[in-house]
Amino acid sequence: MPKTFLITGGAGFIGSAVVRELIENSDHRVVNVDKLTYAGNLESLASIADCPRYAFIQADICDAPAMQRAFADHQPDVVMHLAAESHVDRSIDGPAEFIQTNVVGTAVLLEAARGYWKALQASDPQKAEAFRFHHISTDEVYGDLAEGPSSSFQLPASSSLFTEETPYAPSSPYSASKAGSDHLVRAWQRTFGLPTLVTNCSNNYGPYHFPEKLIPLMILNALAGKPLPVYGDGQQIRDWLFVEDHARALIKVATDGQVGETYNIGGHNEKTNLEVVQAICALVDELRPKTSSFQLPASSLIIFVADRPGHDLRYAIDAGKIERELGWVPQETFETGLRKTVEWYLANREWWQRVLDGSYQGERLGVV
């Protein structure tokens, strides 16, 4: 039976992938609530914008009356909360905005959801029983897995992957704000009985990724013959998850997950940052047009720059729980997903050019 999904941050990178997946591959209805900050781009939803099962509300999750109206007007069955400030470097430069959106905004949304759910218990107990609030978080709340003095938290030697039981030890203002929002969601479930679920994911990549993040930045700089800056020695390890695989996992959790549970979602693709950049270089060399003005090996553009403050050394997700309990497994390997990503950026110059020059939102951005 079709459900109504209220998705916050649905114009962002992961959110837009979830919206496209729901509209293109199900009969569900989608209400997209997005403030349209720099990272929100409605052009990422152009393919489904005219679908009668899709609606868009421009609103800030910190605006309590707007959130209450969204619930009252659209009567959602499922909330998928993706709206967040998410760039670590930006959180170091300006932590307050991350606390406001990620912590305060989540509290406002939880209260709007709780009021709506309590009213449903009186008016439509069956709909109230089926209601779900799914909070989407990050593996960065766990800190890092590295051994040695740079590690933010020393796990036992036998622990080589983040599990759902790994203690929280966030390192950056971004990850600390996401940890706070995770705790709020669990508190609303424990204290008020709100039917919540939490997922923590590894690094996402794929089409429509904002060009300040590692993979799209390296693709576009390599195509333009610009330097490819790598933090420190490039040996930081991340587990990479193709965004469309993540979208499918999130929908699976929202519809079939157990209330009160946490599910880690990972791609089984641990790579050092340097390995990722080198793989991008090889694909750009292979796939870029032969008429490109820059034809030297892209790897010649790699430079090493001062490391990020508090940089976590290794993230790696144990996704065994979601695989065992819900039957989700990623469809893409890192190699297939990265090739699809590079091919997409080569084929969609207009999308990323409008992001780089700011015309997608009517102002210029300072993106390298």
Rounded Cα distance, 330 and 240, in Å: 11
142 occurs within a structural domain: yes
| pLDDT score recorded for residue 148 | 36
Contact 201, 137 (CB under 8 A): yes
pLDDT digits (tens, 9 = 90+) for 332-361: 999 999 999 999 999 999 999 999 999 998
Which residues in 82-209 belong to E strands, given as ranges? 132-138, 196-201, 203-205
Rounded Cα distance, 231 and 195, in Å: 41
368 occurs within a structural domain: no
pTM of the model: 0.92
315 occurs within a structural domain: yes
- Exposure string of 180-193, with b = 16+ CB inside 10 Å and e = fewer, is bbbebbbebbeeee
Give the count of domains, the chain: 1
Structural domain containing residue 198: 4-356
> Given strand 237-242, what is the order of strands in its sheet?
203-205, 237-242, 270-272
324 occurs within a structural domain: yes
Question: Which DSSP category does 212 fall into?
Answer: T
| pLDDT score recorded for residue 146 | 61
362 occurs within a structural domain: no
313 occurs within a structural domain: yes
282 occurs within a structural domain: yes
Which is nearest to 206 in space by CA: 317, 342, 298? 342
Q: The domain spanning residue 206 has which CATH number?
A: 3.40.50.720
Rounded Cα distance, 62 and 333, in Å: 37
**Residues with active-site annotation:** 139-140, 174
- Host H or E run for residue 54: strand 54-58
Name the residue type at position 8.
T
365 occurs within a structural domain: no
| pLDDT score recorded for residue 159 | 53
Rounded Cα distance, 228 and 206, in Å: 19
- pLDDT score of 364 more than 50: no
pLDDT digits (tens, 9 = 90+) for 50-78: 999 999 999 999 999 999 999 999 999 99
